[in-house]
Structure 1
């Protein structure tokens, strides 16, 4: 049974670099629809970091995006085919890559990764917030 006030969005994705802007737009629209407009940019940026890693670390641009909204939080999950779990490391600040998990750690309330029962893994983050209702 679903918790009252929950909502979910699922989408199979092919996350080539040219598609990331479109995905960010879709996610921002859901944030506004669900009353999380103030979090739209943060969620889009954190998601972009996860999606950019899919082809880099799996060799395939295919993944699944799941957005779960509950009354007091938003959870974003990216599932892919690799069984290798990400590990947060101290980034090399002279390079353009390698800061995604540090960013998640700073900008979200929680994040993690877990193997999927049918293979692959899911990497997720959560942001706690109360949805904003528009004034009537």
Structure 2
């Protein structure tokens, strides 16, 4: 089930490898609607990594993906039914797995995991480029005598 509110996107899904291209497409579309095109590639990588972990480490592969905006940040939240926390591993760049935490660290401003009643929630934030900058006219107005 997909729900879209102003500044929020929520997708409930049963994760399967064949569904990931469609999810990436939906994420891309939502970011474009929000004017966040420069964040598409990184966000798709983050979402793919988080949902792949759901598929690999939960019994039922059910998840909720939420995207949301706050001033200066894009929030990516994935909730699943597993209580298993992500573990940092020494990456083997030739292996098919084990690089998730390194990827999330590299692409996000910050991230955290919290245990919830039904499993866990992974919450990441990506800085929106230029969001901290004032429009030029406001900057100049503030710099006037």
Q: How does the TM-score come out when normalised to structure 2?
A: 0.81
User: What's the CA shift for 1:59?
Assistant: 2.3
User: What's the CA shift for 1:86?
Assistant: 1.0
User: What's the CA shift for 1:89?
Assistant: 2.0
In structure 1, the gaps of 5 or more residues are 1-5, 132-136
- Counterparts of 2:30 and 2:20, CA distance in 1: 16
Largest Rg, 1 or 2: 2
Q: Name 2:88's counterpart in structure 1.
A: 88
Higher RCO, Cα 8 Å, sep 6+: 1
SS in 1 for 2:112: strand
Q: Name 1:13's counterpart in structure 2.
A: 13
Q: Which moved more, 1:122-131 or 1:98-107?
A: 122-131
SS in 2 for 1:69: strand
- Counterparts of 1:114 and 1:87, CA distance in 2: 14
In structure 2, the gaps of 5 or more residues are 1-5, 133-145
- Counterparts of 2:45 and 2:73, CA distance in 1: 17
4+ long deviations beyond 6 Å:
none
- Counterparts of 2:14 and 2:64, CA distance in 1: 9
Q: Name 2:126's counterpart in structure 1.
A: 127
Q: How does the TM-score come out when normalised to structure 1?
A: 0.86
CA RMSD of aligned residues (A): 1.5
User: What's the CA shift for 1:60?
Assistant: 2.0
Mapping of residues 1-136 of structure 1, within 5 Å: 7-116=7-116, 118-129=117-128, 130=131
SS in 1 for 2:68: strand
* Residue correspondences, number: 125
